[in-house]
Amino acid sequence: MIKRSPYTLLTLVLLAIFLAIVALACSSQSPNIGKYYKGRILHVSVADLERTGELRWTTSTRAPRQGVTDEDFYRLIPESSDNELVLLRVKVENHTATRAIVNIDRDAAQLRDFLQGRYFPIDVSERAQDAGFPESAGDRCNVPVIPDDHTACVKFLWNPVYEETQPDGQVQLVERAQELPNGTGLDGWLVFEVPKDTQFRSFRWASGDTVTIDF
């Protein structure tokens, strides 16, 4: 009879637990999607999670319709064919402080998988490519619109960019953090590039507060 060492049995048990957790994550969307979690200052919610091989959008605020050909359309694809884009609709609200400063850049958030991989949001404006006019109005974008703003395709969460005149007279584009007075918030999409079919363990918000949401 072959005897198994207690260390081998422990390894098998831990592996079984790990596989069970991953299987649960793969089987359905996390029940924590849509819930708010509170840090010291901010309330944060992951309202939705979408996956796509190509993101298309327009900055137009007009209602989608055919026959309009003067809109600017853009597309974003993964840098590697082994990757996909993951979009998180994130809500960040201030119900505690008189005001909160939120700096939304690459370090503002993280997606974490079960193998200690960490993924950071993309600055969409740096990687956006011009796209041709879609064949049908329904192809203007391929992610859900913000529910309370049906005329816009998608709103990305990132620092706004302003034109500032320098002392030498040159105009420079400058990113600035956003201020959230009490009772206000932000609602938009963060975009991540990850290996295809990656399963996520948690989302971490780290701007103006620290909030972790387990999936």
Asked if 154 and 147 count as a contact pair (C-beta separation under 8 A), the reply is: no
| Ranges of H-type helices in the chain | 6-27, 124-127
Q: How far apart are CA 45 and CA 10, in angstroms?
A: 37
What band does 174 get if pLDDT is binned at 50, 70 and 90? Answer: confident
Q: Which position has the token pair 């103006």?
A: 208
Q: How far apart are CA 187 and CA 88, in angstroms?
A: 10
Q: Quick: pLDDT tens for 51-100.
A: 999 888 776 555 444 445 566 778 899 999 999 999 999 999 999 999 99
Q: What is the mean predicted confidence (pLDDT) over 167-189?
A: 90
Q: How far apart are CA 11 and CA 122, in angstroms?
A: 37
- In total, the chain counts a number of residues equal to 215
**Euclidean distance between the first and the last CA atom of the chain, given in angstroms as a whole number:** 43
Cα 53 to chain center, whole Å? 15
Q: How far apart are CA 163 and CA 168, in angstroms?
A: 14
Q: Which domains does the chain have, with CATH numbers?
A: 31-214 (2.60.40.1240)
Lowest mean pLDDT among 47-51, 164-168, 187-191, 204-208: 164-168
Structure tokens at 73: 């359309």
